[in-house]
Structure 1
């Protein structure tokens, strides 16, 4: 088990990165970053734009490591710029593609199947700054399926690998 920090949580009911990056993101609600999120098995984060959407069930939650944010490009970059849902400190989450992991911020473990890398797109250059897409290649976070219900809150948490491969889930 590894001690980590849940630095930031984002739940957004709107998809702000539509159209061309040159046009800029659509306006979003002021309360996208939240203190806690409610996770539902196979559905995602309650209130998020990908919650219960069949096309996104295997990738309804995106987790990223704060250590990979391109702070040299934009010192104030956070989840609002990357459109990831969970920002962790203390674990190289990109190294766990194919694993099942558990995060526990004090209310019990929430498990996730880490399905694939979240590849950065051209929007990163528009929302963070020129060069961000390239800087995030291979470390833009991971797309996950929640395998259990639970609640995650910002602050101290534990990270555990439940299994190295979830191919038989």
Structure 2
């Protein structure tokens, strides 16, 4: 982890996204598939090793290390500024499960070094008042071409390196919108 001191940091959970379907399939020009129910949630249930109950990646073996995605709201703020957009961008359109304000979540991901080696992602916890849920961060969550269609032209390129992180939950629990604490735990 690049320079972050272990210990609790105040953050805000600004969006929680759960959808049983992949909305971004096919050609971006055709538009996203509608969600069968509203994807934005006030609270979510997390299950260790499985993901977020009701989400399309829940209990999918192929996504075991990528069941939950985390995104920094500041990345959208910076994107809107760079693209000269008048208003804020909707964090639910990123289709990331948890959108936080107050922590550079991209730094939690595993990193590949120039010499070909890679470092593990961070072990971190989130607590929105119902107890800490620990997550193991793995790989960066790369943005896709759909970002140009649903956020703004230029968003795909503008979010490269700032698409969030994919991780696996290590504990059962609940997360809800609002104030929370993120704790980066020291490596074992």
Q: Same fold (TM over 0.5)?
A: yes
Question: For 1:134-145, what aligned pairs fall within 5 Å after superposition?
Answer: 134-145=157-168
Q: Number of residues paired by the alignment? A: 165
* From 145, 155, 160, the counterpart of 1:122: 145
User: What is the CA–CA distance in structure 2 between the aligned matches of 1:114 and 1:123, rounded to whole Å?
Assistant: 24
Unaligned runs of 5+ in 2: 1-7, 110-120
Question: For 1:70-85, what aligned pairs fall within 5 Å after superposition?
Answer: 70-72=79-81, 73=83, 75-85=87-97
Question: For 1:1-169, what aligned pairs fall within 5 Å after superposition?
Answer: 1-69=8-76, 70-72=79-81, 73=83, 75-97=87-109, 98-164=121-187
Residue deviations 1:62-85 (CA, integer Å, cap 9, x gap): 000100012234534223311101
Question: Which entry has the higher C-alpha Rg, 1 or 2?
Answer: 2
Query: Which aligned runs of 4 or more in structure 1 are off by greater than 4 angstroms?
Result: none
User: What is the CA–CA distance in structure 1 between the aligned matches of 2:161 and 2:36, rounded to whole Å?
Assistant: 29
User: What is the CA–CA distance in structure 1 between the aligned matches of 2:88 and 2:54, rounded to whole Å?
Assistant: 25
Q: Is the 8 A contact 2:123 2:185 kept in 1?
A: yes
Q: CA RMSD in A?
A: 1.3
Unaligned runs of 5+ in 1: none
